[in-house]
Amino acid sequence: MIRACIFLALLSISFADNVNYKDCGSVSGKIEAVDINPCPTEPCELKRNTNITISLDFMSNSNSATFKTIVHGIIGGVPVPFPSSNGKITPPLPIKPDQKITYTNAIFVEPTYPKISLLVKWEIWDASRKDFVCFVVPAEIVA
């Protein structure tokens, strides 16, 4: 029974899609891990007409009663807003210093998006509009 539990735990870790990211100006937090699902290879292939799930662990170093999600696709150096919901965080608001935060969100890749290579810039703002965290990952929109 113990071997089965260990095997299942290792199996779930092996399917995690932790990605290499570039910090692009985190101010009020420190990124610990970025997981994009599905993203088995890099650049991340964002398949049209599907949902992509983002999971992010970070350590807060400030107080905030709110947070806001900002997502851009950077195409040829030009940031293009990417529609997204605000996502959710655990533990719930308010955010406190030295608190580990898990943020999750999903974005829908519209079937009308062109097939293109881009950078995805993901920001989570605190109440004063400073980046808790900011990261960039290479991606490609595919059929």
pLDDT given for residue 1 in this prediction = 41
Domain boundaries 17-142, CATH class: mainly beta
113 is written with which tokens?
């998006």
Peptide bond into 114 cis (omega under 30): no
CA-CA distance, 12 to 97, in Å (whole number)?
Answer: 30
Q: Which residue's structure tokens are 């940031």?
A: 79
| Cα separation, 86 vs 69, whole angstroms | 5
**pTM score:** 0.85
Residue spans of the domains in the chain: they are 17-142
- Residue 9 is predicted with a pLDDT of 35
The residue with greater pLDDT, 15 or 43, is 43
Task: Give the confidence band of 77 by pLDDT, cuts at 50, 70, 90.
Answer: very high
Alpha carbon separation from 140 to 23, 50, 71, 89, 109 (Å, rounded): 19, 13, 15, 27, 11
Question: In the 8-state DSSP scheme, what is residue 127?
Answer: T
Q: What is the pLDDT of residues 89-134, one digit of tens each?
A: 999 999 999 999 999 999 999 999 999 999 999 999 999 999 999 9
Which pLDDT does position 3 carry in this prediction?
Answer: 38
